[in-house]
Structure 1
Amino acid sequence: MFSKVFASLSVLLAISVQVNAHAAIAPALGVDGTPVRADVQRPSTASPCGTVNVASTLDTSTPVQAAADGTFTATATDFNAGADGSRSVTAKVDPTAQGKTFSTAVTVSQNGDAAPTTVGSDQIVAALPAGTTCSGGTAGNLCLVQFTTTAGFGNCVVVAQGAATGAAAANTTAAATNGTTTAGTTATNGTTTATNGTTDATTAANGTTAATTTTTKHHHHKAAAAQAKVNKRFSFFQWRDIKHNRDGEETLAQTCRFHSSSHATGTFTKHRGDVTVVLSEQDEDVDVPSYGRHGLLAGSIILDSSLKIEDIVAVVLKVEGRIKLNISGANAASKTIKTVDEQYELWSCQTPNSSISSTCPRLIPFSTILPPTFKDGNHEYPLPPSYEVNFTGIPGLYAKCTYTIRAIVKTHGSFWDHKQTVSTPFIYRPRKRPPQPTVASEFFSSIKVSPEEWFQTTSVLQARPSTKLEPINVSIFLPAVRSFGLRDTIPYHIQLTGPISSLKKFYSCVQCGHSAHEMALDWEGEIRCRDDIRVGHFDAGKIAMSDFLVFSVVPKPTMGAFNSLRMIVPILLVTDTWVEH
């Protein structure tokens, strides 16, 4: 008999936290064109250039040209007013451009505004230290400069030494001779290689794609200040379709992007007491708001007229993500892991910033982007989807991944301060799709013509010793991609080969000619997940879920001629079906 597709859960325990960000310096490493919110990084000692892959983006990034005295200019752009959007920077240089050692300070002679009152840009003038020799990149003339704002945000910028024309010529040469690394180059420009595995699909909420985009990176952003307008630009990710390869380049494989034809335009409203939270870009009449990868949490907090404005002390927005684990039995334990823990002060009567009104507005807009990852020690993992599972028994396991938005309004009281909180749980469901479609043709018509389209795993069904029968070889064939949407129908083919005497004993309906000694029995069919299965494979480090297809042979007790057999085939279940666009 066949078992249904099922998921297994493995759990360890730990804690991790993630942060957001709000200013970028152009031209940014790994960014094609002007940086947007999604390109903001938070440099650190462990990751000096944030999450950007330096090795794969150095030669393809736009450099700034250093003058003979080492001076160069860059542009700092903030996406939030106030100190969080600081355009004032410090800088360090890595002459090798490997992105590992930024030990020498860069002199900044013209800096930006540390607390801008509006969203905008400042020109930054800096100079490489005297005697600096840039040795990085294919041309051997590139440095990396790490810019960090006073708010702790920023990114790396490529600086080129030598004549501008020489640098351009060197870059052209690099592109022309880069044929041996084409897969890596094209992968950063919208294509995937055959080893890319599962390709992340576009989320309906914000039109983003993770694995196949040009500039999609793991960046995080702070919420807008109270007086700032909600950012209505949804072009957080820049796209560059590869229509023609450069000289010397060849596209090995390419997965077309998924383009959603619809965009959610509804709102979700939650009211409690004197406070209302409105979340935009939701489907109409939803019971629980939902967001995808890089989801934009945008909306507003509305204060009722019954609430005295003069009593308000502060308005705070919190975004929280938690993994709750509970193990029962002899070694019972429980743990809560923080995956998102962000707090934004949207308005405060004590904020030392003239751009913030001294009177709290009754409508306070906000916007922030969900971080796609969280850190566990030195490792970074994708943010897990909303999920709940309960395995009863001894030992037992309960695990739940949850996400919540909280709007908090603090007010003065006669004797002590009060706090009103509106909590809104939301669903996080990062979308993925298979990297290629499943086999469309029938097994026998395709296995000889295109054997690479099928994956085969084999095992042996052993006979019980008392029967003196020879064993039967069992083969299972699945589409080679082994990655399927949750609503996909998965084709399979099972083949049993062995002596006729063994096959007849296993399956009494076997008929064959007298001259035959061995033969094969074939079954083919389809299988799919139950409709209530909403989450497929994910790996969040301390909690992971894997998917399998299981084939079992279970004989009747004391009656069967063969032992039991269980074959487990790992597969990958993702949210979306592969669709040609």
Structure 2
Amino acid sequence: MTIMTRPPETLPTYSVSSPPPSYSCDPAVGEQLIQRTPRALGRPTGTFKKLSGGVKVVLTEQEDDAETPIYSRHYPINGAIALEHRETITEVKAKVVGQMRLLIPGVNSREVTLVEQHQILWSSNSASGSSSMCPGTLPFSLTLPSTFEDKGASYPLPPTFNLSCLGSSGLTAVCKYSLEIKVVKGHSRGIGHWMKTKKISIPLKHLPRSRPPRPISAECDLFSDLKVSPEEWHQTLTTIPSRSPETIPPVNAHVFIPSTKVFAYGETIPFHIQLTGPVCSLRDLSDSSGKVPNLRVNLLRQASLNIDGPKAWRNNVIADSKLWPIPPPVGSITNAACLREDSLDWQGELEIPKTLSAPGFHAGDLHVKDFILLTVIPADRKSKLQYHQSHIAIKIVTDSWREAPDSS
């Protein structure tokens, strides 16, 4: 949307019988852009091809070098089948199948049908004339549904996902999709009759796309920005417990992240950490040489399974952060009064991997969630303050707010 700064009487006039004035999404001289909805990414224009014997399957709107066809929500699976040796073909079918398989070893397992849609592309039974031959090319179009039903409830169709844990845990959570082509051939000669079925299965990647509600910028002075625009930041308070709270009181850890709590693949999350408490407690977190406590900030993904009661989960750290202290250093508080309140500050950045296979999702018995994980480890093993971890739930989406460059 644009605002025109010239007087209202100079605006162009038009009537129902005349065409409206031309408008542009780009502001002209004297105009200002105040709001704009980012454009969705354009669909690829290449094709994915698979050849098996005399059957060739072509899927459109794919990257030319894609190893697996990718489909977002509501994207139709468009393509065509080219056939050789059509004389004996009696039927051609296309089917899209989605399955979710869950396993808690020694406890329970489930298989859920996410989608099963089929299309008869050609059949000799419905062809006009007994001598009709199957066409050489058969186009088709199938669409993945936006939801699936499980135990009387509806859930968004989950993305392609594969968690297969090795070792004693053996936890398994798999959501997979495929396009299946079936070509049936048959022939009758005298009293003899034979039939042969050829099947082609093409794995599909379902990747529902989404954006954060607004841009995230890491190009700021977090320490001052927290004071100027506190509403832009979400604050989480957690307490680092003490083994001897009478002499060494607990320390509070404040974690600040952008208030949206929604971040895209490849995006950088700026954060600020502040440890506050009595000086004697902050000293206890450090060692005798003034070495600061060990702070870690990671991106944690948790996959949890709840199969008719029994529950199991798997946690994986999928990204590490860059972290640096903000002056004054811990040495500046060593001579302060023990009970005086003080603080230690850190600033950092956590980058969401671009290689994630899927964003978080909830699909019935399977829940995949993402967290920012704060770990505080005292520098001295003899510290009265304890090893401590805290989790902050966030949401990961596929696309950044920023638009892709215009290729035109």
Letter in 1 for 2:121: L
Shift of the 357–561 alpha-carbon distance from structure 1 to 2, 3 Å rule, reads farther
Query: Which whole-Å CA distance do the structure 2 matches of 1:438 and 1:359 have between them?
Result: 59
Q: Which has the higher strand share?
A: 2
Question: In structure 1, what is the Cα distance between the partners aligned to 2:181 and 2:175?
Answer: 20
Aligned to 1:498: 277
Residues 262-411 of structure 1: matches in 2 within 5 Å? Answer: 262-304=42-84, 307-309=85-87, 311-328=88-105, 330-331=106-107, 333-351=108-126, 358-411=132-185
Task: Quickly say closer, same or farther: Cα 1:257–1:529, change in 2 above 3 A.
Answer: closer
Partners of 1:278 and 1:526 in 2: CA distance: 43
Q: How does 1:103-122 map onto structure 2 within 5 Å?
A: none
Shift of 1:368: 2.2
Residue identity matched to 1:541 = G
Partner of 1:489: 268
* Contact 1:273/1:420, CA 8 A, preserved across alignment: no
Equivalent of 1:433 in 186, 189, 211: 211
Question: Would the aligned equivalents of 1:276 and 1:422 in 2 still touch at CA under 8 Å?
Answer: no
**Structure 2: gaps spanning 5 or more residues:** 1-24, 26-33, 291-329
Structure-1 separation of matches of 2:379 and 2:341: 25
Deviations 1:461-484 (A, max 9, x none): 122228821211111111000000
Corresponding residue for residue 320 of structure 2: none
Letter in 1 for 2:96: V
Q: Shift of the alpha carbon at 1:454?
A: 0.4
Greater alpha carbon shift after TM alignment, 481-490 vs 532-541: 532-541
Q: Which moved more, 1:509-518 or 1:289-298?
A: 509-518
Flag the 1:378–1:355 CA change in 2: closer, same or farther, 3 A: farther
* Mapped contact 1:388–1:399 kept (Cα < 8 A): yes
Deviations 1:111-139 (A, max 9, x none): xxxxxxxxxxxxxxxxxxxxxxxxxxxxx
**1:561 matched to which residue of 2?**
384
Measure how far apart 1:394 and its partner are.
4.0
> Identity of counterpart residues, as a percentage?
36
Match of 2:363 in 1: 540
Cα deviation, 1:146-203, whole Å, max 9, x if unaligned, reads xxxxxxxxxxxxxxxxxxxxxxxxxxxxxxxxxxxxxxxxxxxxxxxxxxxxxxxxxx
Deviation of 1:392 (Å):
3.5
Q: Report deviation, 1:380.
A: 1.7
For 2:122 and 2:130, locate their aligned partners in 1 and report how far apart those are by CA, in whole Å. 7
Q: Deviations over 1:330-371 (max 9, x none)?
A: 32x3332111101111111112x7599932101111122221
TM-score, reference length from structure 1: 0.52
Question: Is this contact kept in 2: 1:439–1:453, CA < 8 A?
Answer: no
Deviation at residue 554 of structure 1 after TM alignment = 3.3
2: CA distance, partners of 1:568 / 1:301 = 50
**Would you say how many aligned residue pairs link Structure 1 and Structure 2?**
325
> Residue type matched to 1:350 in 2?
N
Q: Does the 8 Å CA contact 1:534/1:575 hold for their aligned counterparts? A: no
The aligned residue for residue 444 of structure 1 is 223
Asked whether the equivalents of residues 279 and 337 of structure 2 are also in contact (C-alpha less than 8 Å), the reply is no
Partners of 1:321 and 1:313 in 2: CA distance: 26
1:378-421 CA distance string (max 9 Å, x none) = 32211111111123344431111111111111111454321011
Which residue of structure 1 aligns with residue 13 of structure 2?
none
Cα distance change, pair 360–458 in 1 and its aligned pair in 2 (3 A): same
Q: SS of the residue aligned with 2:331?
A: coil
Q: Give the TM-score of the pair, scaled to structure 2.
A: 0.73
Gaps of 5+ in 1: 1-242, 244-252
For 1:577, the aligned partner's letter is S
d(CA) in 1 for partners of 2:216, 2:130 = 56
Q: Residue 383 of structure 2 aligns to a residue in which SS?
A: coil
DSSP 3-state at the match of 1:410:
strand
Matched letter for residue 279 of structure 2: I
Q: CA deviation at 1:449?
A: 2.1
How much has 1:580 moved relative to structure 2?
5.6
Contact 2:57–2:80 under 8 Å retained in 1: yes
Change in CA separation of 1:334 and 1:280 when aligned onto 2, cut-off 3 Å: same
Which runs of at least 4 in structure 1 moved beyond 6 Å after TM superposition?
none
**Counterpart secondary structure, 1:447:** helix
